Amino acid sequence: MTSVFSKLNNMAHVPDIAAPALDIDKIRKDFPLLQEKVYGKPLVYLDNSATTQKPQVVLDTLERYYKQYNSNVHRGVHHLSQVASEAYEDARHIIAGFINAREQEEVIFTKGTTDSINLIANVFGRGVIKPGDEVIVSAMEHHSNIVPWQIMCEDRGAVLKVIPMDENGELIMEEYTRLLSDKVKIVSVAYVSNSLGTVNPVREIIAQAHAHNIPVMLDAAQAIQHMPVDVQELDVDFMAFSGHKLYGPTGIGILYGKREWLDKLPPYQGGGDMIKTVTFAKTTYNVLPFKYEAGTPDISGAIALGAAVKYVQEIGVENIHAYEEQLVNYAVAQLSTVEGLRFIGQPKHRSGAISFLVDTIHPYDLGELLDKQGVAIRTGHHCAEPVMDFFCIPGTVRASFAMYTNKEDIDRLVVAINKAASMLR
Q: Which residues bind other proteins (CB under 8 A)?
A: 39, 361-365, 367-369, 372, 379-381, 394-395, 423-424
Answer yes or no: are the C-beta atoms of 54 and 249 closer than 8 Å: yes
Characterize the bridge pairing of strands 353-358 and 341-343. Answer: antiparallel
Answer yes or no: are the C-beta atoms of 39 and 416 closer than 8 Å: no
State how far the Cα of 361 lies from the Cα of 369, in Å rounded to an integer.
12
Q: State the nearest-atom distance from the C-beta of 2 to other proteins, in Å.
A: 40
The residues, ordered by sequence, that sit 6+ positions from 17 with a Cβ below 8 Å of its Cβ are 326, 327, 329, 330, 407
Q: Nearest Cα to 16, choosing from 366, 307, 264, 333?
A: 333
Q: How far is CA 30 from CA 22, 51, 235, 244, 404, in A?
A: 13, 16, 35, 16, 9
Catalytic residue among 8, 14, 162, 383: 383
Answer yes or no: are the C-beta atoms of 65 and 303 closer than 8 Å: yes
State how far the Cα of 283 lies from the Cα of 278, in Å rounded to an integer.
4
Q: State the nearest-atom distance from the C-beta of 23 to other proteins, in Å.
A: 35
Task: Look up 153 and say whether it is catalytic.
Answer: no
Q: How far is CA 339 from CA 347, 370, 411, 414, 418, in A?
A: 21, 16, 15, 11, 8
The residues, ordered by sequence, that sit 6+ positions from 225 with a Cβ below 8 Å of its Cβ are 48, 52, 245, 246, 247, 312, 320, 352, 402, 403
Q: Could you tell me the maximum CA-CA distance found in the chain, to the nearest angstrom?
A: 71
Choose between 143 and 259: whose C-beta lies nearer to other proteins.
Answer: 143
Burial label, 130 (beta-carbon count in 10 A; 0-12, 13-18, 19+): exposed
Angle at 69 between CA 67 and CA 73, to 5 degrees: 135
Question: Around 363, how many Cα atoms within 13 Å sit in the side-chain half-sphere?
Answer: 20
Q: What is the distance of C-alpha 116 from the center of its chain?
A: 11
Element (H, E) at 107: strand 107-110
Q: Nearest Cα to 113, choosing from 17, 232, 243, 236?
A: 243
Q: Kindly tell me the sign of the dihedral angle through the C-alpha atoms of 331, 337, 343, 347.
A: positive
Q: How far is CA 349 from CA 104, 167, 273, 297, 401, in A?
A: 31, 14, 42, 37, 15
Q: How far is CA 55 from CA 224, 244, 305, in A?
A: 17, 11, 11
Characterize the bridge pairing of strands 184-190 and 134-138. Answer: parallel
Which residues are known to be catalytic?
383
